[in-house]
């Protein structure tokens, strides 16, 4: 079994991986956009983003100065010895990672605005749990969510009479209104159905799906493709310079809804979709992947 100290150092490496190295699926999509983009200015901007990605990886420095707020998505077997101390371990790993990588401290008190100095604070890092009965495994995904792309995020509970068409209109209008501010090209997560908090959770988790994957339900997969097309027709382009690359992907996740409500939530991420996953098996074998 891994020691607590070893687990902390593996988590620090997982945070480092997320901060300095863009996942290959996201980089691949940016490369494809660069090849297919017709606007010269948009191509230049995509080239600069690709150079930034390469430099960050080579020099081992963060892809962006904005650390974002840090969330962890944990899948833990109920037999894992780390369940009880994990929240404390995650905070410790964030504190060390902030100092060692280094990461800009971003967590400030809601009333005083005072920065905690180490990217931890009340409910931060946020931890989402999924427990797997009778297993001894641990899978921790770290997600660094940039602040610039937070402003367009929203949730709304519509009447079913308004339904899907209205929800999609809201998504496109919100992206259009915020223009270059969330640092496009964007990855857009949309959550539908459930209660408002379920829709928000689905929208954020949708960002963690591999870029290029489609919703397994064919009508929702078609909706993803149609929304991507529509958003790219807005012509905002990378960092607002115009062109067809406003978004890299739209991911939709849906829950059953109450007959009287139609919840919709949108979670937006800039091109710097920083995530990495640490997996530990029962024999202590581990892997960090993106």
Site residues for ligand SF4 per CB under 6 A: 64, 66, 68, 146-149, 182-183, 270, 272
Query: Could you please report the per-residue DSSP string of 184-212?
Result: SSEEEEEEESSSHHHHHHHHHHHTTSPTT
CB-wise, 14 or 149, nearer to ligand SF4?
149
Minimum gap (Å) between residue 64 Cβ and ligand SF4: 3
CB-wise, 23 or 182, nearer to ligand SF4?
182
Minimum gap (Å) between residue 144 Cβ and ligand SF4: 8
Q: Which residues contact 290 (CB under 8 A, 6 or more apart)?
A: 17, 18, 21, 23, 24, 275, 276, 277
CB-wise, 239 or 262, nearer to ligand SF4?
239
CB-wise, 68 or 121, nearer to ligand SF4?
68
Minimum gap (Å) between residue 148 Cβ and ligand SF4: 3
Minimum gap (Å) between residue 239 Cβ and ligand SF4: 9
Minimum gap (Å) between residue 138 Cβ and ligand SF4: 27
CA nearest neighbour of 206 among 229, 188, 185, 182: 188
Distances (CA, A) of 45 to 157, 231, 245: 37, 18, 10
Q: Cβ-closest residue to ligand SF4?
A: 146
Q: In the structure encoding, which two tokens stand for residue 263, read together?
A: 């919840």
CB-wise, 67 or 215, nearer to ligand SF4?
67
Cα dihedral sign for 25, 27, 28, 29?
Answer: positive
CB-wise, 105 or 163, nearer to ligand SF4?
105
Distance between CA 7 and CA 127 in Å, rounded? 16
CB-wise, 64 or 211, nearer to ligand SF4?
64
Distances (CA, A) of 14 to 20, 58, 144, 145, 183: 10, 17, 11, 15, 24
Minimum gap (Å) between residue 9 Cβ and ligand SF4: 25
8 Å CB contact between 45 and 127:
no
Return the number of other C-beta atoms located less than 10 Å from residue 64's C-beta. Answer: 18
Minimum gap (Å) between residue 145 Cβ and ligand SF4: 8
8 Å CB contact between 231 and 172:
yes
Burial class (CB in 10 A: 0-12, 13-18, 19+), 285: exposed
């Amino acid at each position: 079994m891994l020691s607590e100290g070893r687990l902390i150092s593996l988590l620090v490496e997982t945070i480092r991986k997320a901060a300095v190295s863009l996942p290959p699926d996201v980089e691949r999509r940016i490369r494809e956009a660069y090849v297919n983009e017709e606007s010269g200015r948009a191509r230049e901007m995509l080239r600069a983003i690709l150079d930034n990605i390469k430099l960050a990886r080579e020099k081992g420095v963060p892809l962006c100065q904005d650390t974002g707020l840090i969330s962890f998505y944990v899948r833990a077997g109920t037999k894992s010895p780390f369940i009880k101390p994990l929240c404390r371990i995650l905070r410790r790993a964030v504190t060390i990672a902030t100092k060692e990588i280094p990461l800009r401290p971003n967590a400030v008190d809601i009333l005083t605005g005072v920065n905690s100095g180490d990217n931890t604070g009340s409910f931060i890092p946020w931890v989402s749990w999924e427990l797997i009965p009778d297993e001894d495994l641990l899978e921790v995904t770290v997600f660094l969510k940039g602040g610039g792309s937070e402003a367009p995020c929203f949730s709304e509970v519509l009447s079913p009479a308004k339904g899907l068409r209205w929800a999609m209109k809201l998504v496109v209008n919100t992206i259009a209104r915020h223009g270059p501010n969330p640092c496009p090209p964007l990855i857009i997560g949309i959550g539908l159905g459930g209660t408002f908090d379920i829709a928000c959770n689905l929208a954020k988790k949708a960002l963690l799906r591999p870029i290029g994957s489609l919703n397994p339900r064919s009508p929702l997969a078609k909706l993803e493709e149609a929304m991507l097309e529509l958003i790219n027709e807005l012509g905002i382009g990378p960092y607002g310079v115009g062109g067809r690359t406003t978004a890299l992907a739209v991911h939709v996740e849906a829950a059953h809804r109450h007959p009287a409500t139609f919840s919709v939530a949108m979670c937006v991420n800039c091109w710097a979709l920083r995530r990495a996953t640490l997996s530990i098996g029962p024999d202590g074998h581990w892997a960090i992947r993106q």
